[in-house]
Structures are given as structure tokens and as C-alpha cells.
């Protein structure tokens, strides 16, 4: 029902290094390749005997770029069970697991290479991580239940995905609330601006009425202004949202190896139309006030 992969992983600070051309390059996470997939390989291939995988940050530090690091022979200096172990390896590939802002630069080798390393140094190290690979997604929960019954705790990809989805939902609700408040405040601001415009242009309105301008003509002037305010505001907002989407996707791809932000033409049109509608609704009251002004009183206004 499940394939069992034994693995080793350790997290250290400052004690593990890659040595290349006499220079030391620190990394924080050292482990074996059990449980990894080809989708995580940016460049190169999975390591065989005498080879290692490194993350892009380590590659950039030591060789200037990920591609240049492949094929380089380096010395790996790691601490295992309190013992410092050194051995030369060839870099076979560059690995990405979506580490948060590159905080966990890592080095990986096959379980067989790790066993060889420890055996050569007379160390007996037990695996500290077990990966259970289900032959059918429907068996995942049953495997988790059996693991829990044995007194262990595990996490599945489905559980992690569910947690991530819940976080995204919460984030979406928060953004929706902020957007709703922003729209309400925007409507008030447009209402205020147009009211001020009516007051400042009272004499102009009086002149238009004195030469035969009708109420609906005055109303159209201010409704048109509110339409233009909404249109240009919507276009500006869509432009900013697009830039945020581009930058956000770059960050998300570095973290999770996927893009979750999507600005479609339908979203852009919806944003612009919503902006125009809210602006025109907010402009109705000032437009009505301007249309009702008495031309004589308007001309006397100072």
C-alpha cells in the first residue's frame, strides 16, 4: 500500500560548509534525496554515488550562477552526531524546494552516499525521517491513521495543501474586507470632491443656466465628470494591480514553485466597471444639487 523511503535530515547553523577553491560557503540544511521529485530539479540531475545536489543560493555564492556550479568538485564538511565529516563530491544538479527567501540553503546526497560517508568514518547513524509513498491517493488517510496508531505523527501533501488553501481563503477574506472599506471611502471622497466642485463653480453654473442651459445639461456635466474620475481611477487601479500580480508571482514562485496570482482581462474589466459605477453613483447627489441651483442666486454667489 505504501513504499517506505528512509532518509536523514539535519538543520544546523554555521557548522556545515561547502569548500570550493579554498573558500567556505555555509549552508543550514543537510539531508538525503529520499522523497524528492524531478520537478524540484532546476538544473542537472539527481545525484549518484559521489555526487550531491545543492540549492541555487549556494551555487550562486560559490560559482556565480547555478549552471556554472554543475560539474564542480567540492568538499562537503558536515557535522553528523557531533562528528565533523569531510569528503569530496561532484555537484550533479541544482535543487529548489521553495525555501522562504533562501533562508535554508541546503545540500543533499543519496541515502547510499550518506551511508558510505558515515561508514567510512565508523559512524552508525539511524534515519531520522521516513517517507511513505502511497500507491493510491485514496490510501493516504489510511496510512496516516496507521502511523498515528503507532504513536507517530505525519503530514501528507493533501494536508499541507489544505492548510495552504485555508490560509489563502483567510487572506482573500481580509483583502475583500479591505477592498470593501476602500470602495466606501472612495465613494465618500468622490462625493466630497464633486460637492466642492459645485460650490467653486456656482457662478459658472449660473451663467450656463442664464444662457438657456437646462437642469439635465448641468446634471450631465457632473455625471460625466464622475464617470471620467471612475474610469481613470479604475484604469490606474488595474495597472497597479497588474504590477502587484507580476511582482507577487515572482515572490510566490520562489517560495512555492507555483504562481497563484492571476490578473485576467475579465478581472480588469470588472474592476474598471465597478470603479465607474461607484463613481457615478457618488456623483449623482452633487449633480442633482448643481442642477437645482437658482441661476440668479448662482450669479450672485461670490
8 Å CB contact between 46 and 93 = yes
∠ CA 161-47-45 to the nearest 5 degrees?
70
Residue 6 has pLDDT above 60, yes or no: no
In tens, the pLDDT along 36-64 reads: 777 778 889 889 999 999 988 888 888 88
Residue 9 near residue 35 (C-beta atoms within 8 A): no
Choice between 82 and 86, residue whose per-residue pLDDT is larger: 86
pLDDT value at residue 231: 92
Could you tell me if 106 and 99 are in contact, meaning their C-beta atoms sit under 8 angstroms apart? yes
pLDDT for the residue numbered 149: 74
Domain boundaries along the sequence of the chain: 2-154, 163-300
Least-confidence region, from 38-52, 77-91, 165-179, 273-287: 165-179
Residue 101 confidence (pLDDT): 39
**Predicted confidence (pLDDT) per residue in 212-259, tens digit:** 888 888 888 888 888 999 899 889 988 988 888 888 878 766 665 556
In sequence order, the 6+-apart residues with CB closer than 8 A to the CB of 34 are: 5, 6, 7, 111, 129, 131
Q: Which helix (H) or strand (E) holds 78?
A: strand 73-80
Q: Under a CB-based contact definition with an 8 Å cutoff, are residues 63 and 25 in contact?
A: no
Coil, helix or strand at residue 65: coil
pLDDT per position as a tens digit, 90-109: 999 998 765 443 446 888 88
Say yes or no to pLDDT of 71 above 70.
Answer: yes
Sign of the dihedral through C-alpha 117, 129, 102, 79? negative
Which of 18, 98, 81 is closest to 53 using CA atoms? 18
Which residue would you say has higher pLDDT here, 133 or 93? 93
Model pLDDT, residue 99: 44
Instruction: Tell me the sheet residues that pair with 85.
Output: 78
Given a cut of 70, whether residue 135 has pLDDT beyond it is no
Q: Indicate the angle between helix axes 157-200 and 202-210, nearest 10 degrees.
A: 60
Distance CA(72)–CA(63), nearest Å, equals 9
| Alpha-carbon span 62 to 53, nearest angstrom | 14
Q: How far apart are CA 295 and CA 86, in angstroms?
A: 93
Structure-derived torsion over alpha carbons of residues 56, 61, 64, 68, reported in degrees to the nearest 10: -50
Does residue 262 register a pLDDT over 60? yes
Is-above-0.95 flag for pTM? no
Amino acid at each position: 500500500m505504501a513504499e517506505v523511503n528512509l532518509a536523514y535530515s539535519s538543520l544546523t547553523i554555521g557548522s556545515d560548509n561547502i569548500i570550493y577553491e579554498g573558500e567556505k560557503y555555509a549552508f543550514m540544511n543537510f539531508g538525503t534525496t529520499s522523497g524528492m521529485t524531478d520537478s524540484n530539479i532546476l538544473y542537472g540531475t539527481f545525484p549518484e554515488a559521489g555526487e550531491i545536489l545543492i540549492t541555487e543560493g549556494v551555487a550562486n555564492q560559490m560559482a556565480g550562477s547555478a549552471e556554472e556550479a554543475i560539474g564542480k568538485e567540492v568538499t562537503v564538511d558536515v557535522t553528523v552526531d557531533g562528528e565533523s565529516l569531510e569528503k569530496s563530491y561532484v555537484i550533479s544538479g541544482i535543487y529548489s524546494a521553495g525555501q522562504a527567501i533562501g533562508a535554508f540553503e541546503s545540500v543533499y546526497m543519496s541515502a547510499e552516499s550518506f551511508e558510505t560517508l558515515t561508514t567510512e568514518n565508523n559512524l552508525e547513524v539511524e534515519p531520522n525521517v521516513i517517507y511513505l509513498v502511497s500507491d493510491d491517493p485514496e490510501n493516504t488517510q489510511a496510512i496516516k491513521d496507521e502511523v498515528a496508531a503507532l504513536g507517530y505523527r505525519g503530514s501528507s501533501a493533501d494536508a499541507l495543501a489544505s492548510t495552504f488553501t485555508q490560509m489563502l481563503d483567510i487572506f482573500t477574506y481580509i483583502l475583500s474586507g479591505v477592498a470593501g472599506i476602500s470602495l466606501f471611502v472612495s465613494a465618500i471622497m468622490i462625493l466630497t470632491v464633486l460637492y466642492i466642485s459645485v460650490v467653486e463653480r456656482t457662478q459658472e453654473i449660473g451663467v450656463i443656466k442664464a444662457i438657456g442651459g437646462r437642469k439635465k445639461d448641468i446634471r450631465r456635466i457632473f455625471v460625466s465628470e464622475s464617470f471620467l474620475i471612475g474610469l481613470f481611477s479604475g484604469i490606474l487601479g488595474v495597472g497597479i494591480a497588474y504590477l502587484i500580480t507580476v511582482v507577487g508571482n515572482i515572490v510566490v514562485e520562489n517560495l512555492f514553485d507555483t504562481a497563484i496570482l492571476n490578473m485576467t482581462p475579465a478581472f480588469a474589466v470588472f474592476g474598471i466597471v465597478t470603479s465607474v459605477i461607484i463613481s457615478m453613483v457618488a456623483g449623482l447627489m452633487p449633480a442633482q444639487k448643481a442642477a437645482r441651483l437658482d441661476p440668479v442666486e448662482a450669479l450672485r454667489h461670490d
